[in-house]
Amino acid sequence: MNNFDFLIVGGGVIGLSVARELHKRGGRNIGVLDRGEVGKEASWAAAGMLSPDIEADLGSEFHRFCSKSLDMYPAMADELKDETGIDIELDRTGTFYLGFDHDDDSLREIYVRQIDAGVNVEFVSPADILTAEPDILQSVRQGLFYPNNWQVENRKLLDALRIYCEQNSIRTIENTRVESLIIENGNVTGVMTKSGDIEAQTVVIATGAWTSLIKIADSTFPLDVKPVRGQMIAFKPETRLIRSVVHSSRVYLVPRRDGRILAGATSDDAGFDKVVTTEAVERLYSSSVMLIPALSGAEIADSWSGLRPCTNDKLPVIGGFPGCKNLTVATGHYRNGILLAPLTAIVVAKNLINKVDFPPAFAPSRLMEDSTVASALIC
C-alpha cells in the first residue's frame, strides 16, 4: 500500500511523535518514511537533556514552548510504559550549571534574571554542590541548580515510539529517500522516491537536517535548514560518579542509569559529514576530566556524532506551508528535538485532526520572506 491519509517524512523523534499523536487523536492510515533507519539519526545521537532554562532565552515564546513541552514528559513517560512496556528512563534528579575559576561571575546575574522571570532555580554554594556531587572538581566556585530540568534516555524513547507504531498499524518505510514533492493544482498529493511515488492526502515534513534537500517542483525546498555536527563520547567508570546532569562552560555530562556518563558540547559546520574527530574526542575527554577528576583513566566506551537541524534564527519551523495545501512542516529543532517532541506532536496533530491553528512564532513564512522561490511559489 502506497497511499496514506497521513504521510510523515522523517522517522526521528519528531516524526514518530507526530505519528503517535495523530493515531491517539483518531487518525488512521498513517505512514512514516525515512531515508535510513527509523530513529537512527540526530534523535539517536542526542544526550536526552530536557533543559529549557539553559537552552532557551527567558521570557521568549520559545522558552514558554520548551517549558510547556517539558511539563508533558511525566505523563508521556507513563503512557509509553503502559502502551509499549518500555521505560524511557525519565530522570528528574535535576541539572547543575557550575562556575569555576576560568568563568566570570555571570551566574549571579543569570540567577537574578531567572528568578525575576519565575524560573525554578537555586543559587548554590561550593559546599552545597560538593555535598550533592562529591566528585566534582573541588575548586568549583558557585553554581545554579534547576530542579525542573531533567533528562530522558532518548534511545529508549525512540524504541518506545517505534514499537507504538508497530503495535498500532502505523506503517514505517525505511531506506527510502524522498526526491521531491508531488503537486497537483496547488495540492501536495504525495512524494516521489527512487522506489516509486507514494500518495498521501496530507504530508508532514519532519526531515531535520535533510529538509533543504527535498525538491519542490524542480526547485530546492525554500527553507534553509543547515546540518550542525555535534560529537559525543561516553565514559564507563567503575562506579557512579554523578547523579545529576552537570553543565559547565566547556562540557556537559549526562549520567545514565546503566552507569555510562555522556559528554558533549561540540558544534561544528561540517556539512553532512558525521566523522568523529580525534580533536573533538580529546577536547571532550580533557574537559570532562577537568570537571570530574575521577574520570581520568575511565574507559571511553563509545563515541558518535549527529547532525542537528539548524535554521537561520535557531528556532523550529512548525506550521502549514505557505502556498501549498496539505503540506505541514515540523523541522529545525536544532538542540531541542527531544525536549520539543511532545508539544510539537500535539500542535501538529491538533491542526491536522482538530483544525487548531499553529503557534505563529514558528511559522515557516518567517524564514521565507526574502526567498525568491517563496515569492513565486509553484504550488
| DSSP secondary structure letters along 99-157 | E-TTS-SHHHHHHHHHHHTT---EEE-HHHHHHH-TTS-TT--EEEEETT-EE--HHHH
What does the pLDDT read at residue 377? 53
> Are 284 and 332 in a shared domain?
no
Closest among 339, 237, 300 to 13, alpha carbons compared: 339
**Residue carrying C-alpha cell 549520567:** 255
- Specify if 94 maps to a domain: no
| Residues in Cβ contact with 364 at an 8 Å cutoff, skipping those fewer than 6 apart | 223, 317, 319, 320, 321, 322, 329
pLDDT tens-digit profile of 15-54? 999 999 999 999 999 999 999 999 999 999 999 999 999 8
At which of 254, 278, 310 does a domain end? 310
Closest among 288, 231, 214 to 255, alpha carbons compared: 288
What span, in angstroms and rounded, lies between the C-alpha atoms of 187 and 183? 5
At which of 310, 341, 365 does a domain end? 310
> Are 240 and 335 in a shared domain?
no
Q: Where are the alpha helices (H) located in the chain, listed in sequence order? A: 13-24, 42-45, 52-55, 61-71, 73-84, 106-116, 126-132, 154-167, 278-291, 337-354, 372-375
> Are 318 and 356 in a shared domain?
yes
Q: Where are the alpha helices (H) located in 117-270, listed in sequence order? A: 126-132, 154-167
> Are 188 and 123 in a shared domain?
no
What CATH code is carried by the domain that includes residue 282? 3.30.9.10
DSSP character at residue 91: B
> Are 367 and 357 in a shared domain?
yes
> Are 164 and 299 in a shared domain?
no
> Are 65 and 163 in a shared domain?
yes
- Specify if 90 maps to a domain: no
Residue ranges for the chain with pLDDT beneath 50? 370-376
**Residue carrying C-alpha cell 485532526:** 353
- Specify if 104 maps to a domain: yes
What span, in angstroms and rounded, lies between the C-alpha atoms of 316 and 53? 17
- Specify if 159 maps to a domain: yes
At which of 295, 310, 325 does a domain end? 310
What CATH code is carried by the domain that includes residue 200? 3.50.50.60
> Are 303 and 316 in a shared domain?
no
- Specify if 42 maps to a domain: yes
Q: Which domain holds residue 55?
A: 3-70+155-223+312-375
> Are 138 and 213 in a shared domain?
no
- Specify if 86 maps to a domain: no
**Residue carrying C-alpha cell 496533530:** 349
Give the count of domains, the chain. 2
What span, in angstroms and rounded, lies between the C-alpha atoms of 196 and 26? 28
Residue 190 Rama label (left phi>0; alpha psi -120 to 50; beta): left
- Specify if 327 maps to a domain: yes
| Residues in Cβ contact with 11 at an 8 Å cutoff, skipping those fewer than 6 apart | 32, 33, 34, 37, 38, 39, 172, 174
Q: Is the whole-model pTM more than 0.85?
A: yes
What does the pLDDT read at residue 57? 75
> Are 233 and 296 in a shared domain?
yes
What span, in angstroms and rounded, lies between the C-alpha atoms of 203 and 218? 18
Closest among 373, 331, 364 to 218, alpha carbons compared: 373
Closest among 345, 341, 339, 343 to 55, alpha carbons compared: 339
Q: Which residues of 264-279 are buried (b: 16+ CB within 10 A; e: fewer)?
A: bbbeeeeeeebebbee
What does the pLDDT read at residue 372? 42
Q: Is residue 306 a contact partner of residue 274, using CB atoms and an 8 Å limit?
A: yes
> Are 358 and 264 in a shared domain?
no
- Specify if 179 maps to a domain: yes
Q: Which three cell numbers stand for residue 10?
A: 522523517
> Are 321 and 211 in a shared domain?
yes
